[in-house]
Structure 1
């Protein structure tokens, strides 16, 4: 068994992030689904689809849901399904977060959630040029 991964984002952000991460790594070690939320989507239909995807992904070890911007429709849909310890939700997905999750796929849901958060935070760096002498 393993953790399922559901990515819920605006438009094609999730698809693009997943495709990029898989291209970098050469593999997607988790059972993963992506749901794109557009401005013309029906929120009730999205919730039904999300419930179906979570049921499909949950093999007994839980599902980690990654979503883009906290407080937006994708994160609100995910938040409605939050069941800590079985369905964990992390908002603010970025490529370092996703790569970290895929690199630590064997971890349990609690540890994988922590890795997602640390990967997202640690992946944000203010780039500066080195001073020359």
Structure 2
């Protein structure tokens, strides 16, 4: 089974785990790292690596972060790069609940690469304007590069 490590600003990683388990039930091989503004970044990096060690059973690990370019994402990427060649680690930045639910459902049955692809596709698919009267028509948003419509 693919291991999961959620890394975020503040307590968001813990809340994402709670929300995921609310939808799909209790999960094993899942760890969280919550990064605060006063935390030492080297300690955080060691914490991420320790979590990767704890959830890795040989099928790979996905580190999910809250925002591309943020400290959690940068630290996760550094950990993944430092471990390249020794084990399979993928980093997904910009996690959302549909992505996480999909990954939880496929991580026991699919290899790392396809599982990551399916999760990202699900995460993108479920980003939509829920109040269409207030949004530009879907085609117009895509043409302007301002967003994606479900299924694209």
Q: Give the alignment's TM-score, normalised by structure 2.
A: 0.78
**Cα drift, residue 25 of structure 1:** 1.9
1:17 aligns to 2:21 (yes or no): no
> CA-to-partner distance for each residue in 1:2-57, whole Å, 9 max, x for gaps?
111000011111111110111122232x4100100110110011111111111121
Q: Is the 8 A contact 1:9 1:74 kept in 2?
A: yes
Task: Give 1:3-82 correspondences, 5 Å limit.
Answer: 3-28=2-27, 30-82=28-80
Query: Aligned with 1:60: secondary structure?
Result: coil
> Deviation above 4 Å: which 4+ runs of structure 1?
none
Note the residue ranges of structure 2 that are not aligned, 5 or more in a row.
Answer: 134-152
Query: How many residues align structurally?
Result: 127
Q: Is the 8 A contact 2:32 2:51 kept in 1?
A: no
- Structure of higher CA gyration radius: 2
Q: Is the 8 A contact 1:9 1:37 kept in 2?
A: yes
Q: Pick 1 or 2: higher relative contact order, CA cutoff 8 A, min separation 6.
A: 1
CA distance in 2, matches of 1:61, 1:102: 14
Q: Is the 8 A contact 1:90 1:116 kept in 2?
A: no
Note the residue ranges of structure 1 that are not aligned, 5 or more in a row.
Answer: none
2:104 match? 102
